[in-house]
Amino acid sequence: MYLRSATFFIAFLLHLAPCLAAESFHPEIADPILENWRWQTFPQLEGPGFRAVAEDADGNVWFATDVGVKRYDGLTWTDYAVEDGLHGAPVNVLCAGKDGRVWAGSRRGISVFEDGAWRRVFPVDTNADWTIWSIREASDGTIWSGTARGALCIMPDGEMCYFTTEDCAIGLRVIAPWMTYFIV
């Protein structure tokens, strides 16, 4: 009878054991991307209104900001503003070309950094504002830009054409008669 009672008691405890556990063990594996030692804060980017980033063919990292563009070569920060040849600020978008040039788009138009300096590329007339929302380089070296009025194409030889609606083209031909327009 003692053996029978002991067997019943052990069976009862084994049956009750899962109910007594606080919770099941589930190992937690840390996400390596979220580990603090992998990240670094750059005080140079605090405050200027960071907007976009691009890396050029030489490994320089370019940052678009409210006041212009910043370049970081891994050791040194260099600031570029409108006084340095940028065509407008804030700079909304950056595009690093395969040929080493860096393109910057603002509400005033497009600038390009080549041979150590910025120069205005678009629009040719300094009185016209032309908000640039995106800049991409095609595989043939053509630069494409999305704007508030349509799509701009800058050919490798510098020729520019604009894809827009008939209504927009009527007004744009007055502002920029030097450009070729395609109605879409």
What local confidence, expressed as pLDDT, does residue 82 receive?
Answer: 92
In contact, 114 and 73? CB cutoff 8 Å: no
> 123-137 pLDDT, tens per residue?
877 677 788 999 999
Half-sphere exposure at residue 179, Cβ-oriented, CA atoms within 13 angstroms: 26
In contact, 118 and 85? CB cutoff 8 Å: yes
**DSSP secondary structure string, 79-100?**
EE-GGGT-SSSSEEEEEE-TTS
In contact, 65 and 56? CB cutoff 8 Å: no
> 25-57 pLDDT, tens per residue?
888 888 888 888 888 777 777 777 889 999 999
> 94-119 pLDDT, tens per residue?
999 999 999 999 999 999 999 999 99
In contact, 171 and 162? CB cutoff 8 Å: no
Among 67, 74, 160, 69, CA closest to 122: 160
In contact, 150 and 163? CB cutoff 8 Å: yes
Spell out the alpha helix ranges (H) of the chain. 2-20, 166-175
In contact, 116 and 110? CB cutoff 8 Å: no
Residue 12, phi-psi category: left (phi > 0), alpha (psi -120 to 50), beta (remainder): alpha
156 vs 2, which has greater pLDDT? 156
CB-based burial, 83-104: b 16+ in 10 Å, e otherwise: eeebbbbebbbbbbbeeebbbb
